[in-house]
Amino acid sequence: MPRELLERARRLVGILRHYRRLHEALERSGPGAYRITSRGAWATSRPAHVYYFMKRLGIENDRFFVDLGSGDGLVACVAGLFTRSVGIEADPDLCRTATDAVADLELCHRVEIVRGDYLTMNLRRADCLYLYPDKPFHALEELLGSWPGRLLVYGPHFPPGGLIPGRQLRCGRERIQEYRARLGPDPPAALGRK
Ligand SMILES: C[S@@+](CC[C@H](N)C(=O)[O-])C[C@H]1O[C@@H](n2cnc3c(N)ncnc32)[C@H](O)[C@@H]1O
């Protein structure tokens, strides 16, 4: 196996172990990996499934990946195995957990965690956005305008009316749906104009 792939496999094992320990500790001390935040609900994507989806969807060809509402950083870390990745999260405690994970897993050169509201940020440079929504995401949909990248939506969700569906993948009970924005004029507050 090429050295690069061996290194990726080694890091993936580290991520799986790290988050298994973290989530088991949360199970022991309370309701597990679930929490209400100021912006909705936090729950986690499943790391092995996320890795499978990213591999199948060729994330290494996206130069810049952003997880919108990155929770404890799991998806941002997995994406960092393939490309440059940023996680944006409003909840300060989850941001701290994610930042610690990035440091412990020695992914600082590929992964960054940013605290804030992604709806107020310039996302235009992202080639690939990832969302595990806990509610309909009309505001994001409007912001996308004619952004040329792809949006990956994890889990059973609230199908957006204005985006064009692409590939859908399943892995066990998990699924991911790819969308692209419709081409056309950007609305006034479109991505990147803030
Ligand atoms: C269902 S969790 C997904 C966590 C992570 N992406 C994953 O897949 O494991 C959704 C997260 O998005 C955050 N969130 C929701 N709206 C947000 C916003 N506008 N800006 C920043 N974070 C937001 C919530 O606080 C929550 O942690």
Residues with CB under 6 A from ligand 1: 37, 39-45, 67, 69-71, 74-75, 88-91, 94, 117-119, 132, 134, 154
| CATH, domain 3-181, list 3.40.50.2300, 2.40.40.20, 3.50.50.60, 3.40.50.150 | 3.40.50.150
Whether the Cβ atoms of residue 113 and residue 101 lie closer than 8 Å to each other: no
What is the mean predicted confidence (pLDDT) over 24-42?
95
Please give the span between the terminal C-alpha atoms of the chain, in angstroms, as a whole number. 45
Strand (E) or helix (H) holding 138 = helix 138-144
Q: Where are the domains of the chain?
A: 3-181
Nearest to 104 by CA among 14, 16, 44, 21: 14
Whether the Cβ atoms of residue 67 and residue 88 lie closer than 8 Å to each other: yes
The CA distance from 155 to 83, in Å, is 22
pTM: 0.94
Per DSSP, 120 falls in state: G
What is the best residue among 22, 38, 42, 93 to mutate for testing ligand 1's pocket, by most ligand atoms within 8 Å of CB?
42
Residue 194 confidence (pLDDT) = 40
Give the tens place of pLDDT for each residue, 158-180.
Answer: 888 889 999 999 999 999 999 99
